[in-house]
Amino acid sequence: MSRDEWPINHDEWPANRDRIEQILRDDKAVRVPDPDPELEALQRAILLEDVFELTLSDDEIDPAALGSPGSAQDVVSRHQRWR
């Protein structure tokens, strides 16, 4: 991947769905997914908790909840509404 292909600015606050999507795209760009779906969900949970300063429930740290960009966006958005 060349520099120009990197996803761009994701530093708006509060986070909207675009920013969440950009974070998830960056995550996909910088690493190889873990073959164990549960460990992959943990990797994503660690990233989202750090970037968006939230604490996910065990139910949310799950491949079903964090496995796709759409579902992960839903999880983060739900937490942001609660803040």
Partner 1 sequence: MCGICGIVSPDALPDLALLRRMTGRLHHRGPDGNGYYRDDTAALGHTRLAILDPAGGAQPMSSADGTVWVTFNGEIFNYIELADQLRSLGHTFRTTSDTEVILHAWQEWGTGCFSRFNGQWALALWDRRERRLVLSRDRLGVRPLFYTRTGRGLLFASEIKALLADPAVDRAFDPAGLDQTFTYWSTVAPRTVFRGIEQLEPGSYAVLDQRGFRKTSYWSIEFPARGAERVQDVQRDTRALREALVEATRLRFLRSDVPVGAYLSGGLDSSIIAAVIHRYTDVPLHTFSVRFSDSEFDEGGYQKEMAAALGTQHQDILVSPAAIADVFPQVVRHAETPILRAAPAPLFLLSRLVADSGYKVVVTGEGADEVFGGYDIFREARVRLFWSRNPRSVKRARAIELLYPWMSRSPGRLPAFGRSFFGRNLDPADLALSHRPRWDSTAVIKSMLTAGLRDEIASSDPGDGDLVAAMPACAEGWDPLSRGQWLEMTTLLPGYILASQGDRMLMANSVEGRFPFLDSEFVGFANALPARYKLFGLEEKYLLKRAFADLVPDRIRHRPKQPYRAPDAESFFGARPPDWLGEVTSAAAVAEAGVFEPAVVAAVLAKCARTGGARMSNTDNMRALAIVSTQLAHATFIASDGGQALDRHLPEPAVAVDLVTDDRSGA
Residues that bind partner 1 (CB under 8 A): 1-3, 6, 8-11, 26-27, 30-32, 34, 38-39, 42-47, 49-51, 55, 58, 61
54 contacts: CB under 8 Å, gap ≥ 6: 48, 76, 79, 80, 83
Cβ nearer to partner 1, comparing 18 with 38: 38
CB of 57 to partner 1, least distance (A): 9
CB of 14 to partner 1, least distance (A): 12
Distance CA(15)–CA(66), nearest Å, equals 17
